[in-house]
Structure 1
């Protein structure tokens, strides 16, 4: 796993605590072992630190690690581009291998789906409909692809295109696959994200897709977001890098969700 170590902000008066908070905020979720290694202390010390910081509302305490508290604000896009890159690459390659040549795809906004867009270069005869200008810029030069973008309001922070016209446009298409990432997967199987306008587009794509391919690295099981997309169900395929927690695995089995767990390089 790649740990993003951004410059920390003085919040608590304790430099180690401040570094721990910054690491959690920038990565979404980190295990006790990863924090101990990065900060150069024992896991027992990290557990005590997490307990103290969670009691004071700086982070969220989880079994085996710590996560962000906020379910409203996503980590800055430029930071998300640099974290969990190995996991995102492996997931992207697995999704690319899963997709059949000659398919029609919806692709949403996000750093993870940009990894997937790059991995699609080996495919042939794809039609791609996307509301991500960044994804379109990665794919349009490929002569094997037909790339269709939507018209609406362009967001400067992530290259996403949103608005009611986007939803209306999406409803004119039927796709073999929707490729999407998300903000979090709750223990009850609810799929969550941060922005209601972006979620509206994802819902339209989901409604018009035969299969939904969800790219979610392990941090998505240990964080939260405020806007509901849908719940795990039997036309969904979940691609991740670690076995999901027990509660989510139960939902996966009950709903007959197809699960692909990629193996990280050692």
Structure 2
């Protein structure tokens, strides 16, 4: 297979998996490790990928990956994370679900919950939960961000401050190894901070690929999160910090039979 045909497939694999490895791609395409290294270098120089030890990831920085591409990243992990999170949401709860593909996955897992009141600034979440007749749905006001169906801005924050939620379920675009949650849009950060302030408990849903990415705006620390639902345990140093903060870590890989 020529380089011209490999590059789109490499990019598609990176979007799907979050990371590609030199050895895995060499085996997939039946070419040498050096050939794949050249491919990854070319894609990195073009700004399509970011080189890391042993492979490459989607580039990070000051702009986020397209929403449809994010939907396809780590889908199986997101589903398991969402299932674990939904299991900790009692029926009869008031819940906030914010913007993100991981919170949309949680919404799907709430389709059979009873007597819920869900407030959201995510039009996709509202559309998903419309199929649950036993769920009251309240959409915040705000400016529509067409790329992901999110509502942001001062009206969104004003609506959030009228509530006290039993549980808030939030996502993030990236995570720092010191436990800071990060995002790209400063307006969305302000919304997330208001959500945390108005929640009795806050759940974070995020797979560990978020540690491979960077974003410029800080939302909060894991110290402010009650439970962090993820696909595998984070680094030991962060685990120790979470124990000190009393942040509960639920890694779905540890729950698998």
Match of 2:178 in 1: 188
Residue 18 of structure 2 contacts residue 74 of structure 2 at CA under 8 Å; is this kept in 1? no
User: TM-score, structure 2 length as denominator?
Assistant: 0.85
User: Given the superposition, is the C-alpha separation of residues 49 and 236 from structure 1 closer, same or farther in structure 2, using an over 3 Å criterion?
Assistant: farther
User: Given the superposition, is the C-alpha separation of residues 184 and 41 from structure 1 closer, same or farther in structure 2, using an over 3 Å criterion?
Assistant: farther
Equivalences for residues 143-222 of structure 1 within 5 A: 143-222=133-212
Tell me how far apart the structure 1 counterparts of residues 100 and 135 of structure 2 sit (CA, whole Å). 20
The correspondence for 1:256, drawn from 240, 246, 257, is: 246
Residue 93 of structure 2 contacts residue 117 of structure 2 at CA under 8 Å; is this kept in 1? yes
Shift of 1:58: 5.6
Equivalences for residues 227-242 of structure 1 within 5 A: 227-233=217-223, 235-242=225-232
Residue 28 of structure 1 contacts residue 223 of structure 1 at CA under 8 Å; is this kept in 2? no
Tell me how far apart the structure 2 counterparts of residues 193 and 133 of structure 1 sit (CA, whole Å). 19
User: Given the superposition, is the C-alpha separation of residues 219 and 40 from structure 1 closer, same or farther in structure 2, using an over 3 Å criterion?
Assistant: farther
RMSD: 2.9
User: Given the superposition, is the C-alpha separation of residues 81 and 175 from structure 1 closer, same or farther in structure 2, using an over 3 Å criterion?
Assistant: same
Shift of 1:217: 1.4
Shift of 1:245: 2.7
SS in 2 for 1:75: coil
SS in 1 for 2:138: strand
Match of 2:73 in 1: 83
Equivalences for residues 23-102 of structure 1 within 5 A: 23-24=13-14, 27-32=17-22, 34-41=24-31, 59-63=49-53, 65-102=55-92
Tell me how far apart the structure 1 counterparts of residues 247 and 223 of structure 2 sit (CA, whole Å). 6
User: TM-score, structure 1 length as denominator?
Assistant: 0.82
Structure 2 alignment gaps of length 5 or more: none
Residue 233 of structure 2 contacts residue 249 of structure 2 at CA under 8 Å; is this kept in 1? no
Tell me how far apart the structure 2 counterparts of residues 227 and 180 of structure 1 sit (CA, whole Å). 15
Tell me how far apart the structure 2 counterparts of residues 86 and 125 of structure 1 sit (CA, whole Å). 28
Structure 1 alignment gaps of length 5 or more: 1-12
User: Given the superposition, is the C-alpha separation of residues 45 and 232 from structure 1 closer, same or farther in structure 2, using an over 3 Å criterion?
Assistant: farther
